Amino acid sequence: MTGLGAHLDAVRARIDAAARAAGRDPAAVSLLAVSKTRPAADVRELAALGQLDFGENRAQELIGKAGELADLPVRWHFIGQLQRNKAAAVARLGAVVHSVDRTSLAQALSRAGEAAQRPVDLLLQVDLGGPEGELGARGGAAPDDVPGLADAVAELPGVRLRGLMAVAPRGEEPGPAFARLAALADRVRAEHPGAVELSAGMSGDLEEAVAAGATIVRVGTALFGRRPLASPHDT
């Protein structure tokens, strides 16, 4: 088996073990392979092994790869900061947008979803703060603003509110941060029953995220190896 196949098996085994340890059904946690900076050939190889969800964090790279791989039944996810002027192109690809943190972006996606006659599935990105509790380090809406943002997004005709997403803060144990996220997700779901997804956990902390209830883990490094170059768009 090639390196990618072995890595995929290892990551799936980690997810299964974490789900079982938490008393959860492993099938309730889906793996999003974060293919940012990786060649389209790697995506093709993983797709042949049955991995069909892929995440990108730059619109240009997503558009290019989706074009090269248009023959594959892959589902694209957008996990980076999205400019409003790229919303339509991302929406046309049918991508799930995990990183909505303001109403203006949701409105742009809604217009794009209406134009494409296909609603855009989106998640609200939550800023879990830094080690001192400061916000703004890694993108996302402040937790206190999320319920109001969810209410506003739910009114838009061209999008569907599917849940919440977050990146664990640096320099803090991920478990308590993910627990705060899960509590916020419960609150949002009480008002918006379709907001079932919790996108949390990466290569280094997927176990803690699954324990807290993640339904989507976003894994790059553990699948593909270390990224060759740190890009300014990396989080």
Ligand X SMILES: *Cc1c(COP(=O)(O)O)cnc(C)c1O
- Residues of this chain that bind ligand X (CB under 6 A): 34, 36, 57, 79, 167, 202-204, 218-222, 235
Cβ-closest position to ligand X: 220
| Closer Cβ to ligand X, 174 or 220, answer by number | 220
The CB-of-210 to ligand X minimum distance in angstroms stands at 14
How many other CB atoms are found less than 10 A from the CB of residue 173?
Answer: 11
The CB-of-115 to ligand X minimum distance in angstroms stands at 27
The CB-of-97 to ligand X minimum distance in angstroms stands at 12
| Closer Cβ to ligand X, 167 or 212, answer by number | 167
The CB-of-57 to ligand X minimum distance in angstroms stands at 5
Pairing outcome for strands 197-199 and 120-126: unpaired
Write the single-letter amino acid at 181. Answer: L
| Closer Cβ to ligand X, 103 or 203, answer by number | 203
Helices (H), the chain: 3-21, 40-48, 59-68, 87-92, 103-115, 146-154, 174-191, 206-212, 221-224
| Closer Cβ to ligand X, 55 or 113, answer by number | 55
The CB-of-218 to ligand X minimum distance in angstroms stands at 4
| Closer Cβ to ligand X, 97 or 195, answer by number | 97
DSSP letters, 16-79, are HHHHHHTT--GGGSEEEEE-TTS-HHHHHHHHHTT--EEEES-HHHHHHHHHHTTTS--EEEE-
